[in-house]
Chains A and B, each alone.
Chain A
Amino acid sequence: MNAASQRTAFLALFSHYRRHPGQLAMLLVGLWVASALWSGVQAINASARDSYARAEALFSTGLDRIERRDGLPLTLDDYLSLRLAGAPVSPLVTGELELAGGSRLEVMGIDPLTLPEGSGFRTAGGTATLADFLQPPYRTRLAPDTLASLTEEDDTLPPLADGRQLPPLELAPELPPGVAVMDIAAALELLERDDLSRLLVAPEARLDLPQPLVRSAAENLAAPGQLTDSFHLNLTAMALLALVVGLLIVHAALSLTLEQRLGLMRTLRALGVSGRALVSLLLGELLMLGVLGAALGILSGVWLAQWLLPDVAASLQALYGERVGSELALPWHYWLGGLAVTLGGLLTAGLGTLWRAARLDVLGLGRAQAWRGQFLRQLRGMALAGGLLWLIAGGLLAWLERQPPAEGLTPGFVMIAAGLLGSALWLPPLLAMLLAALARLLRRRPLAQWALADLQLQLPRLSVAMMALLLALSANLGVGSMVGGFRLTFLEWLDQRLVADLYLRPPPARYEAAVDWLEARDEVATLLPRARAEATLLGSASSQRQPRPVNVYGVTPHPALTEHWPLLASQEDDASAWQAFARGAAMINEQLALATGLAPGQWLRLSSPTGPMELPIAAIYPDYGNPRGEVMLTAPHLSERFQTAPDSIGIVLDRQVAPGAIAALRRDLSQTLGIGGDSLIDQREIQRRSTEIFERTFAITRALNTLTLGVAGLALLSSLLAQTGQRRSQLAPLWALGVSRGPLVGASIAQLGGAALVTAALAVPLGLALTWCLVAVINVAAFGWRLPLHVFPGQIAATLGLAVGVALLAALLPAWRLWRTSPRTLLTEFDAL
């Protein structure tokens, strides 16, 4: 075939879309949406990864940290005496500066000369020489995106809020966002400090540290990005779901356009276009549409990412303390990857269609019943594949049950994917069986019989949209109840744990004075001191457990606290657990219990500055949002064994206290004890901030979830609208035989509404199963704790209503057009058959 005839054939094939622009729109919308959601999330992930990589280069180049046990800053003397003793330590000071205009900048002061060779701190630098960096006026090194977030228009550093100037700017793209690095002398001066945040030392260096100092090994410090992996995996899973839903639309649209062009293809074949030429023409068409859809999708994906990134950055900062730049940083392979995923997905979705076009039997074309026979075979295959996927999901679940937590994240997602996909594959066979059964039942009612038989013929085209709907609905339900349940549990738990009205963090030197002063106040009912320390959980002889770092938390077991504090498991009952706790037993958080298998009644061994300690475990308590294992002791017990004073005091106020009491207390505290207002935190303030963090964390989940559901609705709507014309020509003969438009409209609405209702009804148990997987498998693997399963009937009803609403809307639009069609136009269409 020469180029001209190829062009002619291509134009003939493509002219189909001129007659059916709706199908072209549906195809492009599917591609666009799939690629937009996917590339949006990938853009977020890529930007975050870029930030992590830069942070990693700076922070975790394998340097151990030396800090004070009590968390106070180190003095210059501490540093100098270590140096004098020959220890290869290097000082570091960090702090925040407020700039004119209100933005804040984290400043790190380093000493390049004492830093170990090859450290990221030392090499992260710009063009200026070491001498420039070390000598006045010094240099401020920061990344271009940090600079962009600080200044509006020009590329100069703004002055500090108090009018002082930062050292001259030097751009260093490899620095993480939001951080400025300068010589320690400059930093100390700007921060107005004369102490150090910590010391750094190469891991291989051996040191003898004086008692108040502790060394944390580099390998115990989680690398940036490591903790956030689960967060990004979550996002990727959601994006994958959106991609699958979008591709299902594409698949539906492609099948439809192929089916409707069968006659045309037959004619082309009869006119001498070879089967192979036809397939390559269709492939060309696919590629053309694919590139267009991918371009649209990637552009909107980037836009979407830009819109969501600030929220994501805020949650990552709040949840994991990771800084992520709020500007997109996209490597070149991001663009290629987006294109490849879209085209790959399109080809996967179109493969079946192309294959059918290639094997086209020239005479047996356009025969709905023949397609139906093929579809019935396909249904058997789908049921089989679905069963297989369910087996895989079940097998993975059984395997996961026997794995230690925190290792099953990827298998957990694979299990969910297999379960969801398996269920989606079962949907068409189930619908077909249901239709057949109903058809037998309603044999005596001709219109119902016709409607069912007709729906069976529509099923091949409809089932893909229904599968997309099922996936999106159950994901929406599952993720929705997970987030809702989390919210409920988290807020309730926060409420229970924050029993004190106020929390005071006095400077350690003034701790005793503060306690005395507070005890003398009338409005103060109870004081609940809290203390913190770090320790290592030691393996015991009986178990082959590895030592692991844990936080130790000291609380005061006053009834005001213990009556509300929720426990997950205790040896006998909660009351006796608290009694044992007061007598010196430990409680552990759920994370630690799940990770180690420790249970109430067992003993744990803990390192402490005063030697290893053996403690019985009285109970396990929930500790939502904490990524680490924690052991809880009474505050006095902790202070004694870890030689550290309580770091904060919970203040329970008298119930009858006057409204202005908090303000008065704050004022008196700063006047008599000189303790600044910042050290006193209102409980409601903590709740508000926690809730805000929570909402931001799930903002993106909600946004993606809603978008996916919207996509599925769109899929259903567009795939039904694309068939409107065909539907009318199916209805016209019945109309001619004497069925008036009312019953016809009713029948077509019942067809789709019924199918959507069945799909939505199946989505409910599937969504609940998904919720269970998320709270009991994924959450445990990602965060180390389990969420209680909550079911929200209102939400289920709303989702069901939405699905049926979309289906009815999709059915109503064609029905409305049928209703409005004058008999004459109907007849014209009818004649055109």
Chain B
Amino acid sequence: MLELRHISKSYPTPQGPLCVLQGVDLRLAVGESLALMGESGSGKSTLLHLAAGLDTPDDGEVRLDGRPLSALDEPTRARLRRERLGLVFQQYHLVPSLNVADNLRLQARLAGREDAAWSRELLERLGLASMAGRYPEQLSGGQQQRLAIGRALATRPALLLADEPTGNLDETSADEVLTLLLELVGDSGCALLMVTHSPRVAAPLDRCLRLSHGRIAEASP
């Protein structure tokens, strides 16, 4: 499904290049779920962005469905994201001009495969049904996070990349969201790569990796 081969990434900073990832290897099979842990600033979001094709590595290769992303042109990569990926960003990135229901359906509709019943069920299960007509700025932080998750799930993606999807949620809500995510993985054979700080959230997942000093290692939650 997803394969990162010897990825390196550095950011230019005033003090010279900051090396965030140094030869990271990672494989994720269909239907597999993986937790990515590591301290703040260790490069988790960077890795997720690379995996989604939002950014390009300095070195190494990202393969999705066996195809190297670097070989694809921009529109093809965009289509791939639209149709195969579900992204939950750390900062949510909801569209301020659209209401909750439209935000939730946005990617599914962009990909041309909206499933109205599934969207409604998601709204229901994420506890957003009563606020479908509101706009993102009228939601609490946790509600916005749930909406961001809903938007990613509404497309029934083949690969779900989630950056701390439960960071702003209380335990009960976090459990519900987690159940939802794992259900999807189980039902549709979707692969899940989830960044989290919480061992409790990481526990039910198949594997757990830890990122530190630019390198990755197997870990137990």
With A369-B135, A446-B110 known to touch, is A738 a contact of B85 (CB < 8 Å)? Answer: yes
With A450-B98, A737-B87, A739-B78 known to touch, is A823 a contact of B56 (CB < 8 Å)? Answer: yes
Q: Are A827 and B55 in contact (CB under 8 A)?
A: yes
Q: Are B137 and A368 in contact (CB under 8 A)?
A: yes
Question: What residues of B have a CB within 8 angstroms of the CB of A457 in the complex?
Answer: 96-97
A454: CB under 8 A from chain B?
Answer: yes
Question: What residues of A have a CB within 8 angstroms of the CB of B205 in the complex?
Answer: none
A10: CB under 8 A from chain B?
Answer: no
Question: What residues of B have a CB within 8 angstroms of the CB of A741 in the complex?
Answer: 74, 78
Of A369, A450, A823, A833, the residue contacting B54 (CB under 8 A) is A823
Residues 58-87 of B at the A interface (beta carbon under 8 Å): 74-75, 77-83, 85, 87
Question: What residues of A have a CB within 8 angstroms of the CB of B75 in the complex?
Answer: 740, 742
Residues 80-102 of B at the A interface (beta carbon under 8 Å): 80-83, 85, 87, 89, 91, 93-98, 102
Q: Are A739 and B110 in contact (CB under 8 A)?
A: yes
Of A453, A734, A827, the residue contacting B49 (CB under 8 A) is A827
With A368-B96, A833-B91 known to touch, is A823 a contact of B74 (CB < 8 Å)? Answer: yes
Of A367, A450, A823, A831, the residue contacting B95 (CB under 8 A) is A450
Question: What residues of B have a CB within 8 angstroms of the CB of A732 in the complex?
Answer: 93
Residues 647-696 of A at the B interface (beta carbon under 8 Å): none
Question: What residues of B have a CB within 8 angstroms of the CB of A367 in the complex?
Answer: 137-138
Question: What residues of A have a CB within 8 angstroms of the CB of B91 in the complex?
Answer: 831, 833
Question: What residues of A have a CB within 8 angstroms of the CB of B95 in the complex?
Answer: 450, 453-454, 730, 733-734
Question: What residues of B have a CB within 8 angstroms of the CB of A827 in the complex?
Answer: 49, 54-55
Bound CA span A328–B55, Å: 63
A447: CB under 8 A from chain B?
Answer: yes
Q: Are B98 and A737 in contact (CB under 8 A)?
A: no
Q: Are A369 and B137 in contact (CB under 8 A)?
A: yes
Question: What residues of B have a CB within 8 angstroms of the CB of A449 in the complex?
Answer: 98, 102
Question: What residues of A have a CB within 8 angstroms of the CB of B135 in the complex?
Answer: 368-369
Q: Are B138 and A369 in contact (CB under 8 A)?
A: yes
Contact with B along A360-378 (1 / 0, CB 8 A): 0000000111100000000
Of B49, B82, B138, the residue contacting A739 (CB under 8 A) is B82
Contact with A along B116-145 (1 / 0, CB 8 A): 000000000000000000010110000000
A14: CB under 8 A from chain B?
Answer: no
Question: What residues of A have a CB within 8 angstroms of the CB of B96 in the complex?
Answer: 368-369, 457, 730
Q: Which residue of chain A lies nearest to B82 when distances are taken between CB atoms in the complex? A: A738
Bound CA span A823–B49, Å: 11
Of B81, B87, B97, B110, the residue contacting A453 (CB under 8 A) is B97
With A450-B97, A457-B96, A827-B55 known to touch, is A736 a contact of B137 (CB < 8 Å)? Answer: no
B106: CB under 8 A from chain A?
Answer: yes
Question: What residues of A have a CB within 8 angstroms of the CB of B111 in the complex?
Answer: 738
A735: CB under 8 A from chain B?
Answer: yes
Bound CA span A370–B81, Å: 32
Q: Are B106 and A446 in contact (CB under 8 A)?
A: yes
B33: CB under 8 A from chain A?
Answer: no
Q: Are B107 and A738 in contact (CB under 8 A)?
A: yes
Q: Are A830 and B93 in contact (CB under 8 A)?
A: yes
Question: What residues of A have a CB within 8 angstroms of the CB of B55 in the complex?
Answer: 823-824, 827
Q: Are B97 and A737 in contact (CB under 8 A)?
A: no
A456: CB under 8 A from chain B?
Answer: yes
Bound CA span A738–B161, Å: 14
Closest 7 CB pairs of A and B: A738-B82, A740-B78, A738-B81, A446-B109, A453-B97, A733-B93, A369-B135
Q: Which B residues fall within an 8 A CB radius of A?
A: 49, 52, 54-56, 74-75, 77-83, 85, 87, 89, 91, 93-98, 102, 105-107, 109-111, 135, 137-138, 151
